[in-house]
Amino acid sequence: MDRNTLSSLIWLRMARFVQRSNHLSNEFLEQYGLTAAQFDVLAQIQHNQPITQTELADKLTLTCGGISRMLTRLEKENLIIRKQQWKIKYISLTDKGSTILNEAIPAQVAFQASMFDEVLDEAEKKQLYALVKKLHKASLEKTVSPK
């Protein structure tokens, strides 16, 4: 098998694993009334609050329109609050949002960890972590050249 084919297969398998993991997370997080995307948004808000909508969109690689729709939904569900200061809106969790997230985070972390713990031994997990870390670092340094 040539190198490009193997590399393409690795990328495809990784993409499929992430897609499947997100699907399972959506099912798992239903018990908290959240999707995986909402969970990620709330976790970022909790970690960085108060945070602006633009900062949040950058951290999540979402468009401002996509994040705006998500925040409107979360605000209607009383999970977040947006406060205007001059021209900038700052986003924070409500007490309800904090409570749900504080319950969901340890459960979601355990759920995601189980996908690795049930299949890989400690040495394999350490090796996989080192390889994924190496790939991530290289991806941060990579640029796309126009044709």
Give the closest residue to 96 by CA, choosing from 79, 83, 72.
79
Strand partners, 83: 90
Per-residue pLDDT tens digits for 47-70: 999 999 888 988 887 777 788 888
Q: Does the global pTM surpass 0.85?
A: no
User: Hey, what are 18's tokens?
Assistant: 């992430």
Residue 133 dihedral angles phi and psi, to the nearest 5°: -60, -40
Q: Would you kindly state where each structural domain of the chain is located, as residue ranges? A: 24-132
* Per-residue pLDDT at 3: 62
Dmax over Cα atoms in the chain, in whole Å? 60
Per-residue pLDDT tens digits for 74-127: 999 999 999 988 888 899 999 999 999 999 999 999 999 999 999 999 999 999
User: Hey, what are 3's tokens?
Assistant: 């190198």
Give the closest residue to 111 by CA, choosing from 28, 37, 18, 49.
28
Mapped to the 3 state alphabet, what secondary structure does the chain carry? Answer: CCHHHHHHHHHHHHHHHHHHHHHHHHHHHHHHCCCHHHHHHHHHHHHHCCEEHHHHHHHHCCCHHHHHHHHHHHHHCCCEEEEEECCEEEEEECHHHHHHHHHHHHHHHHHHHHHHHCCCCHHHHHHHHHHHHHHHHHHHHCCCCCC
**What fold characterizes domain 24-132?**
Arc Repressor Mutant, subunit A (1.10.10)
Rounded Cα gap, residues 63 and 34, in angstroms: 20
